[in-house]
Chains A and B, each alone.
Chain A
């Protein structure tokens, strides 16, 4: 932290914000109980877990730092391909280590591209993030001898977890593994956003000029959170590859980044659980609608988006306060400014 002397007031406030609430504990207990209770739907649960992690990565930059991105799939894709290649060529056989390596690869890319992204306003950020994902997709297509091109990586076999637990057909191990990774990274994210660092990010989001005037190194902070978010997205991508043994060009697709925004917005931006809840609702909706009209599911998601925007996100958030009060009490106080203020 910069020369700012944390007074007891800020300290107490931070501690108050970071206290665990009953709703949060219930949320995670419920998630863990899914291992036993919903034992016939492990595959979709696993998907929800890594989607939630992916949405969490977007929440870190969008909800807390106000960086709008249409290209988060870039890091997801790098994580996915990294995990796939590591497993395929037997470079790192142990999944957890490979997961970390894949996350680091994405993180490296995130660090390198963060300097491009933090320049300019919303519009050029949109274009640059979108452009980076597209460039990576083209590269993956170009080097098809490494990536398998349009067919995707073939013949990925994931070794047993920690050398012990074989990934089973029903996906039980995969789900427990994904949930554990999600939980650990969630704890880290929670720690990050409730730290003075997280507080400074919110200051930047609400007013970058004032934050700079207060002595917050705006660009350095943005680079840091963007890099961290890239790590999260990379881990999500690696989990995807490890639990499905797939990695194809569509990991970089625009639709993936757009779906991610949808999820986060459904769940609510800027309180960490938004991404997880959004991923859950999104996936369940998709599952339900897709059985009715498999091909045209996008139509309904589009309609949901349009309706959400027309109603107004802040208004919806006020309706959702009931859910919120359980999961994070300080919200009614906080949202009024961030959810609306961030956007202006």
Chain B
């Protein structure tokens, strides 16, 4: 029972992390229907920025996180303006080729600069270890992840549903033509959204370096996880991807604990079954365009 709760706790932390990593993709892939396989590269960028700042320049970890966000967002913004926007209207095959190309470049480039071995971010002592809460082992670091990611999720939900920018984004996604007719600067909205999503991915990469590991192959290793979150979660709201992330996180941690030999087999099979059963995702309602 106690282990069960610990697994649940770790799984939720993992799932929340996945959500922060993947929610930018939920917008580009889920809403804008752009297949961005390079999403993990932005997360990796954030992770390495944080690692270099903390390990080499002695920044405190808490300062490294926002800088990771800002740097990844800036990279995302530049990439969107320079490259991505030319590919939005292309075929899915072109989008796949383009983003796979970017992933390859990112993987080899980071390998060249940082070396191929695992990178760890030095954590402050206050975040290490675990404490007992009613007998359940609670890792401090994971608790922090849950708190940060939970707050981010709430903020995201509020931004999307309550703010002017949120309604502009929803309008731009629903019908770009009408939206621009109403005076919404659609390319600009997309660019900002893309930058914000990349920034969140970067933050997730920095936060997750401890749990997911950080090495140059990160974008390839976790690509399928991000895709699962978005396709299984569906694209109608951010609640879908959020629930899908939690499900994936808990299933993955539980799977690795109870049937370690099967590895990720369970996850992949589940994904295929869900995609066959509900092609628009578990929580999706809109038809796939």
Is A344 in contact with B91, judged by CB distance below 8 angstroms? yes
Q: For chain A residues 289-344, which have a beta carbon within 8 Å of chain B? A: 295-299, 301-306, 308-310, 313, 342-344
Residues of B within 8 A of A261 (CB): 96-97, 100
In-complex Cβ contact of A135 among B223, B231, B265, B288 (8 A):
B265
Is A132 in contact with B272, judged by CB distance below 8 angstroms? yes
Q: Within the complex, what minimum Cβ distance (angstroms) separates B111 from chain A?
A: 7
Q: In whole angstroms, how far apart are the Cα atoms of A182 and B271 in the complex?
A: 35
Q: Is B156 an interface residue (CB 8 A)?
A: no
In-complex Cβ contact of B288 among A123, A131, A139, A301 (8 A):
A123
* Known contacts A134-B224, A310-B83, A343-B94, A124 near B231 by CB under 8 Å: yes
Q: In whole angstroms, how far apart are the Cα atoms of A123 and B94 in the complex?
A: 13
Interface size class of A (residues with CB under 8 A): 35 or more
Residues of B within 8 A of A304 (CB): 101
Q: Is A191 an interface residue (CB 8 A)?
A: no
Is B90 in contact with A343, judged by CB distance below 8 angstroms? yes
Q: In whole angstroms, how far apart are the Cα atoms of A98 and B103 in the complex?
A: 37
Is B265 in contact with A138, judged by CB distance below 8 angstroms? yes
Is B104 in contact with A302, judged by CB distance below 8 angstroms? yes
Q: Is B35 an interface residue (CB 8 A)?
A: yes
Q: In whole angstroms, how far apart are the Cα atoms of A299 and B96 in the complex?
A: 16
Closest A residue by C-beta to B272 = A131
Q: Is B2 an interface residue (CB 8 A)?
A: no
Interface segment among B51-59, B61-69, B195-203, B256-264: the answer is B256-264
Q: Is the interface of A mostly helix, strand, loop or mixed?
A: helix
Q: For chain B residues 92-110, which have a beta carbon within 8 Å of chain A? A: 92-94, 96-98, 100-109
Is A68 in contact with B100, judged by CB distance below 8 angstroms? no
Q: Within the complex, what minimum Cβ distance (angstroms) separates B98 from chain A?
A: 4
Q: Within the complex, what minimum Cβ distance (angstroms) separates A34 from chain B?
A: 29
In-complex Cβ contact of A131 among B35, B86, B98, B271 (8 A):
B271
Q: Within the complex, what minimum Cβ distance (angstroms) separates A73 from chain B?
A: 13
Q: Within the complex, what minimum Cβ distance (angstroms) separates A132 from chain B?
A: 7
Residues of A within 8 A of B98 (CB): 305-306, 309-310
For B231-261 the 0/1 string (1 means CB < 8 A from A) is: 1000000000000000000000000000001
Q: For chain A residues 82-122, which have a beta carbon within 8 Å of chain B? A: 116, 119-122
Residues of A within 8 A of B106 (CB): 302
Known: A254-B223, A305-B98, A343-B92. 7 other contacts (CB 8 A): A123-B231, A127-B228, A131-B272, A254-B220, A298-B107, A301-B101, A306-B102
Which residues of B are interface residues toward A (Cβ below 8 A)? Answer: 29, 33, 35, 83, 86-87, 90-94, 96-98, 100-109, 111-112, 116, 220, 223-224, 227-228, 231, 261-265, 268-269, 271-272, 275-276, 279, 288
For this complex, 16 residue pairs linking A to B, each with C-beta atoms less than 8 Å apart, are: A116-B276, A120-B275, A121-B279, A123-B33, A128-B272, A142-B262, A254-B220, A295-B111, A295-B112, A296-B108, A298-B104, A299-B109, A302-B100, A306-B102, A309-B101, A310-B83
Which residues of A are interface residues toward B (Cβ below 8 A)? Answer: 62, 68, 70, 116, 119-124, 126-128, 130-132, 134-135, 138-139, 141-142, 254-255, 258, 261-262, 265, 295-299, 301-306, 308-310, 313, 342-344
